[in-house]
Amino acid sequence: MDSETFDQFIDQLERYVRERLLPAEKEVIANDRVPEDILSEMKDMGLFGLTVPEDYGGAGLNTRQYAQVVRTIAYAAPAFRSIFSINVGMFNSAIKNGGTDEQKAEWWPRIAAGEVACFGLTEPGSGSDSAAMQTFAKPDPDGNGWILNGTKRYITNAPHADVGLIMARTEKDALPKNAHVSAFIVPMDTPGVSVGSADEKMGQAGSHVADVMLDDVHVPGDALLGGETGQGFRFAMQSLDNGRISVGAASTGYARRALDSALKYANERQAFGEPIANFQLIQQMLAESWTEIYAAEAMMADVTARVDRGEDTIKHAAAFKAFASEMCGRVVDRVVQIYGGAGYLAEYDAERFFRDARIYRIYEGTTQILQLQIAKRMLREYANM
């Protein structure tokens, strides 16, 4: 999308967030779901196909533009971003990086039209440790397809997903490294696929996570992403880079929302005959929060520019997600402190911001896993100097 058109879209999206999404937050929280009319509006706006090429019905946004959209949407309740983020941040990335022409022709228009995707990597006994993956895909003896068995855990959007990208072991051993994992495109209405009840969570009402069970699930040969076994982990990791940028952008947008709320409260709340915004230690917390958000925005601009230039950004995407998610945690903590006793009450937004933000430091790679990835990449680069 050209810059002028995109700027107009962002202006429109900011108005939509403030005039439509923010007023709907109470309904999302009360019913634990995004209202159907808003979901339809988001699909009509093209949010489910932001990064799908225009020739296939999408908006064709680059990574910089996509991250800006996520940051803008993330100013509102996290459920609004969550419902489309897997489509554009992970599923579409995997299709782009590893899909065959036939897979792109089939799935890109469907995703752009609003079909909901989920991403099945994590299992009860494995997350970042792919060697421990138990979900297995074996060749179908009656045809050229595959039979999948296993369980996936903590799968965002699973209760209402139309399609899942499922990682499964196709070899017993993990050598060469991660070559035992392949990726399969699995429609969620395929016989043998079942979804557990949505998990009760600390925060992020309206965003649903559940287990996905695969019991002798038969899929055709063309369900294998890229048509080649042993490439699933590579596709997953490339998709996670995009997903981590999305989480970093969401953390940045939500931190901005929390800070705006604290700024408003500090100017309205009176103590000792004046607004608490006049107190220097309150100002310190506001200033530190603004500075950290600014740093995250600068990181986002840098990493997305690198992605759009075609650079290897594993280290940069991990650093952005780690910093932005930890930053958001610090900001919402300060916001609760600025609210004082009111910040601990569910009646006020600060308490919700605090709960909602906690997951950003966990999914798409915990901060600790990302630190290991950054360090390993640094050491590898040093060894090759």
Contacts of 325 (CB under 8 A, 6+ apart): 247, 248, 251, 360, 361, 367
String of DSSP letters for 136-153? EEEE-TTSSSEEEEEEEE
CA 98, 43, 18, 332 torsion-angle sign: negative
Alpha-carbon torsion angle 38, 39, 41, 43, nearest 10: 160
| 8 A C-beta contact, residue 254 and residue 328 | yes
Phi, psi of 163 (to 5 degrees): -150, 150
Residue 13: closest CA among 82, 55, 89, 74: 74
Q: Is 171 assigned a catalytic role?
A: no
Which among 115, 123, 292, 364 is annotated as catalytic? Answer: 364
Is the separation of the CB atoms in 373 and 314 below 8 Å?
yes
Q: For residues 88 and 6, what is the distance between their CA atoms, to the nearest angstrom?
A: 17
DSSP labels for 202-237? Answer: SS-TT--EEEEEEEEEEE-GGGBGGG-TT-HHHHHH
Confirm if 76 and 17 have CB atoms less than 8 A apart: yes
Instruction: Report CA-CA distances (Å) from 212 to 3, 182, 360.
Output: 40, 17, 22
Listed in sequence order, the DSSP H helices in 75-192 are 78-86, 92-98, 101-112
Amino acid identity, position 188? M
The continuous run of DSSP H or E covering 182 comes out as: strand 181-187
Strand, coil or helix: 62: coil
Residues assigned a catalytic role: 364
